[in-house]
Structures are given as structure tokens and as C-alpha cells.
Amino acid sequence: MIVVSGASGQVGSRVARGLSQPYVRMVRDAAKLPGAERAADYADLAGMVEALRGGETLFLVSGREDPHRLRAHKTAVDAAVQAGVRRIVYLSFAGAAADCTFTFGRDHWHTEQHIRESGLRFTFLRDNLYLEMVPRLAGADGVIRGPAGDGRLAAVSYDDIAACAVAVLEDPDSHDGRTYTLTGPEAFTLHEAAEVLHLTYVPETVAEAYASRAHLGAPEFEVAGWVTSYEAIANGELEQVTGDVERLTGQKPRSLRELRGA
């Protein structure tokens, strides 16, 4: 049986709908998805062990943005071991590394290492930024602001990520120990994205980016995550285009122009 975490989210819900093998849906907050078979917070070891019992494979979607997210991820992995789960398919991030620019990407790398050390079988799906997130980078005035310069990103859609996850979950032995980088069909600058989406892109310096977000009152770690995502684009860390989506699904990934026309 497959346990699909994050089942109320954009990717997890799509994965659950796409599976033909037995699965249960797991959420953090049962109120967000009435009818979900399991509910537990990643940080709750006992609750996670109970929620994962009977599962052979865990599709692990990263937890909500939180200063203690890595600790929660590690607890979820430890719970999987205690519950008798044999395999984790982890939704990670493109370019995840201990020293990558995008601060949240570092959490993903450390989570991957903890999964490796757990002794469980695994597959890592490292997705680029979500394609659907690109239009939402703009403010109410239709302007995208950030220190991405002329860097490129190969954003990938929710549907393509979920289809890759389903392919791996339904034929897990073929993907043991593998890491896939999931991208769209092209890498584009935010200038190019803004033109396609009928928006405007105004590059900022890093200092300007922090200053322009100060009024939002968000925690420091969260603002750092927002700003460093743009810096990662500027540094070329999200420009790689791979064929992994098509290799896993047999379908070409969705493009930004296709998103606009949807």
C-alpha cells in the first residue's frame, strides 16, 4: 500500500487521483480534506508511526515552510522506519545541496541525506520551481520584482510532477536509488515570462528585495527563502532542462505558453 502525504495539496492530490494501486491519503490537518484516511503532523513521531502503519511506500511531500521543517522531515523519516515502511519517494528540489543558494533547497538536501542513512529504499524527485507559481510572483500591480537578473528557470507544472510521481510509485523497483530532476521543456528569464504572461518584470538588487518585502511582516527565514529563490535563478542554479519528465511519463512537459492558454 502507498501512503500519499500532502494529499490536500496541489501535487499530493493529483498523485492520489492518478494511482491505480492501493493507497491511503495522509494530511496534516484532517479538516482540509474530509475523508482522508490518515492524519498526522510530520513533527509528531508517535502520530506519524500510527499513520504510516501498513504502508509499504511513502510518497513524502515536503512540509510547510517552517524554521523547524528539517527536524520535522527527519521525524517523518524516522517514523517510516519504525512503522515498517520499506521505501520513500521524496519530493525534493532541483539543485538541492548543502550550500545551494535557495535556503529551502538546503533543507531538501539534508532530508535526502537522512533518507539515505535510514536504510530505506528511495527515489528522489527534484522538481524545479512550480510553473503555476510564476504568474503568482507578480504583485497586485502586475509587476514581478526580485533579484533574478537575466537568469533562467525551467519551471515545471503540478500535473507533470504528479505524473512522474505516479510512474515511480507504480513501478518502484525500476527506480530504486535514482534521482530525477523534473523540469519544463525550456528555461526562460523572468523578462521572457513576464512578456508571455502580459506582466512586467523589474529586477531588484538583493538589498532592494529584502527592503521591498519588509512591510509584509513575514518571519526572517521565510523572507530569506523568497529572496534566495530569485538569487538561485540569477546564479544559474535553476536553468538546467532535463528530459526526465518525458522519460518517466512518455509525455512532453507543459510549457509556460501552454499554461497561459489554459
Q: What is the pLDDT of residues 94-128, one digit of tens each?
A: 999 999 999 999 999 999 999 999 999 999 999 99
Q: Please state, for a pLDDT cut of 70, what percent of the chain lies above it.
A: 100
196 has a pLDDT exceeding 80: yes
Domain ranges of the chain: 2-261
Q: In sequence order, what are the residues at sequence separation of 6 or more whose Cβ sits closer than 8 angstroms to the Cβ of residue 262?
A: none
The β-bridge relationship of strands 2-4 and 23-27 is: parallel
List b or e across 165-202, with b for residues whose CB sees 16 or more CB atoms inside 10 angstroms. Answer: bbbbbeebeebeeeebbbbbbebbbbeebbebbebebe
Instruction: Give which of 56, 99, 109 is closest to 80, Cα–Cα.
Output: 56
Q: What is the CATH number of domain 2-261?
A: 3.40.50.720
260 has a pLDDT exceeding 80: no
Q: What would the DSSP string read from start to end of 98-110?
A: TT-SSHHHHHHHH
237 has a pLDDT exceeding 90: yes
Q: In sequence order, what are the residues at sequence separation of 6 or more whose Cβ sits closer than 8 angstroms to the Cβ of residue 257?
A: 196
Q: What is the pLDDT of residues 238-257, one digit of tens each?
A: 999 999 999 999 999 999 99
Angstrom distance (rounded) from CA 219 to CA 229: 16
Q: Could you say which DSSP state residue 218 is in?
A: -
Locate all alpha helices (DSSP H) within the chain, ordered by sequence. Answer: 10-18, 45-52, 69-83, 103-118, 133-136, 158-170, 190-197, 206-213, 220-234, 244-249, 256-261
227 has a pLDDT exceeding 80: yes
Written as nine digits, the cell of 133 is 507559481
Compute the Cα dihedral for 56, 11, 66, 188 and give only its sign: positive
Report, as an integer, the average pLDDT of 129-152. Answer: 96
Angstrom distance (rounded) from CA 15 to CA 166: 6
User: Cα 225–229–230 angle (5° rounding)?
Assistant: 130
Which pLDDT value is given to residue 262? 58
Contact in structure between 168 and 18 (CB atoms under 8 Å): no
Phi, psi (degrees; rounded to nearest 5) at 173: -60, -30
Q: What is the pLDDT of residues 52-66, one digit of tens each?
A: 999 999 999 998 888
Compute the Cα dihedral for 159, 43, 86, 178 and give only its sign: positive
Read off the amino acid at residue 96: A
Segment (H or E) for 152? strand 152-153
